[in-house]
Structures are given as C-alpha cells and as structure tokens.
Amino acid sequence: MLDRIRNSLRKAGMNPAPDSPDALLADYGLDSLMTAMAILELQDEFGVKIPQKAVTPENFESLSSLAALLGSLGAGKPE
C-alpha cells in the first residue's frame, strides 16, 4: 500500500517522494496546492472519497499516516 501511496504522491508532483514511511511530507514539498492534487490521485488510486474533515496536517503528515487514513476509509480491503 505504501508504494501505491508513494506513486500517487509522485503523480501529484512530489519529486522525489520519500522512501521512509515516517518522513515528513511537508519536507518534500507538500503544500496546500499539492495536497489538492494528492487527494485526487489517492481517490483515483484507492477508489475512496477523502472527506474534507479528514484533510488535516496529522493525516497528511507521512506515508504511514496516509496509509492509516486510507485504511480507515476502506481502502485495501478485499471486495
């Protein structure tokens, strides 16, 4: 799942995206504009809708926190 998240972030413009799951995404350029693009890519990739109230600095802090968020939205669960 981390690879898919990393890939989505790259498509959103994060070049390079971090290898470490706990690296701070803000250090890799994640600003409000890139967050908007990242949400679109993650929604497309995982087939979930990320509600606005979930768009918090904590949820978008790292690859790990994004994985947790997506998991809570049902991503990665078998059909």
Residues making contact with another protein (CB under 8 A): 10-13, 15-16, 29, 31-33, 35-37, 39-40, 52, 55
Cα–Cα dist 42/66, whole Å? 9
* Amino acid found at 9: L
User: Measured from the CB atom, is 4 or 11 closer to another protein?
Assistant: 11
CA distances from 30 to 42, 61, 62, 76, 77 (A): 14, 9, 10, 24, 27
User: Measured from the CB atom, is 24 or 33 closer to another protein?
Assistant: 33
Q: How far is the CB of 16 from another protein (least distance, A)?
A: 6
User: Measured from the CB atom, is 37 or 67 closer to another protein?
Assistant: 37
